[in-house]
Amino acid sequence: MINMKKLIEISEVQRTYSIKRKLLEEWKVQFEELEVEAEKLSAFFQRNYENKMIQDNFPPELQELLENRLEGIRLSAKTATRLKRKLNNEKPLEDPPKGFIPIKKTNSNPILELVEKDNQSIFLNFFEEEVDEIIKVNRDQVELLQVDIEMAEKRFFQFIEKALAPIMDGLYNGKLHAKELVIYTNDSFPDYKTEVIEWVSIYEELMEEVNKLLKTYFVGLLIPEKGDYFDELKHDPIAVVEDTEYHNEQIKELVRYGYYYKKTINNQKNFIIRPAQVTVVKNLLEKPADKEKSGHRDEGDINEV
């Protein structure tokens, strides 16, 4: 005999299916949009690279240094041209699985009438097996949908990590070297300082454009500060260095940004797509510092550009 529990169960499966199907459709739309955005970003990079001039009036040494920097920008622009291809490299999302028995189809069925009337079953012995079958079939469909959603998530995160992040990494390195170039120019060619500062602003412009795209898709940057305490949830240590100015496990340097997803995914907030890469201090003579006392930042304390 069908009881209320069964009826709630069938409704619950129907509801879950609708939610997941909607989610998968959203992912499909998002990938289509992302494809367009990737093209736009690539064009932006190319345009900025092509428009970047090195003025003839710069001293030859400075011209040579800037030519060298321009080569790095050319390579970033070249990498950006592959963004769309990298997005499509994975298998494209398929349509939601077919085979789900929708409520509409069971409209003429007393099961649904029962749901509507919120009544106890007295006539439905006959339909018990049918209800069980519907629940089973639909539950299988929900599982298939879940697999597709997970694939979409994976594809998106891989795009961020393997396609966008390397571009950002290159620009971040370029920006660090640019700072040194500005200092050098100030020392060696002070008359050209302003022009060089203007010239190297291209790194910021390109990074900002990548970041705009990331923000649109709810991806935040993890940018730990020098002196922040190492947090294995958000940071990936690449090297340990000695520096008595710092306590053990304090961050000495940010090597490359990390990325996190701002939307909730699998009940998890701030899912880390890629931790920030850092160098961490470890002095031979010091014991690990007391994190509480040293201003350790708790989970969820995430920097954003």
Residues that bind other proteins (CB under 8 A): 65, 68-69, 71-73, 75-76, 78-79, 82, 89, 162, 166, 169-171, 173-174, 177, 180, 184, 230, 232-233, 235-241, 249, 253, 255, 266-268, 271, 275, 277, 279-280, 282, 288
Q: Which tokens belong to 177?
A: 């070297």
Smallest gap from Cβ 277 to other proteins, in A, equals: 7
In sign, the C-alpha dihedral spanning 22, 23, 28, 32 is positive
Q: Which long-range contacts (CB under 8 A, 24 or more apart) does 98-102 make?
A: 99/137, 99/140, 99/141, 100/17, 100/137, 100/138, 100/141, 101/134, 101/137, 101/138, 102/14
In order of 98, 109, 180, 276, the CA distances from 175 in angstroms are: 50, 67, 9, 17
Smallest gap from Cβ 108 to other proteins, in A, equals: 29
Q: Which is nearer to other proteins, 145 or 255 (CB)?
A: 255
Q: Which is nearer to other proteins, 170 or 224 (CB)?
A: 170
Buried b (16+ CB within 10 A) or exposed e, 114-130: bbeeeeebeebeebeee
Smallest gap from Cβ 79 to other proteins, in A, equals: 5
Quick one: residue 79, left, alpha or beta (phi over 0 = left, psi -120 to 50 = alpha)? Answer: alpha
Question: Which residues neighbour 189 within 8 Å (Cβ) at sequence distance 6 or greater?
Answer: 59, 61, 62, 196
Q: Please report which helix (H) or strand (E) contains residue 279, including its range.
A: strand 276-281
Q: Which is nearer to other proteins, 10 or 66 (CB)?
A: 66
Residue written as tokens 């519907």? 134
Smallest gap from Cβ 173 to other proteins, in A, equals: 4
Q: Which is nearer to other proteins, 70 or 112 (CB)?
A: 70
Smallest gap from Cβ 266 to other proteins, in A, equals: 7
Smallest gap from Cβ 31 to other proteins, in A, equals: 18
Q: Which is nearer to other proteins, 112 or 197 (CB)?
A: 197
Q: Which is nearer to other proteins, 113 or 253 (CB)?
A: 253
Smallest gap from Cβ 233 to other proteins, in A, equals: 6
Q: Which is nearer to other proteins, 1 or 241 (CB)?
A: 241
Smallest gap from Cβ 107 to other proteins, in A, equals: 29
Q: Cα separation of 281 and 298, whole Å?
A: 19
Q: Which is nearer to other proteins, 74 or 109 (CB)?
A: 74
Nearest residue to 258 via CA among 189, 174, 178, 160: 160
Q: Where are the alpha helices (DSSP H) in the chain?
A: 4-51, 60-80, 83-89, 110-117, 128-158, 165-188, 193-216
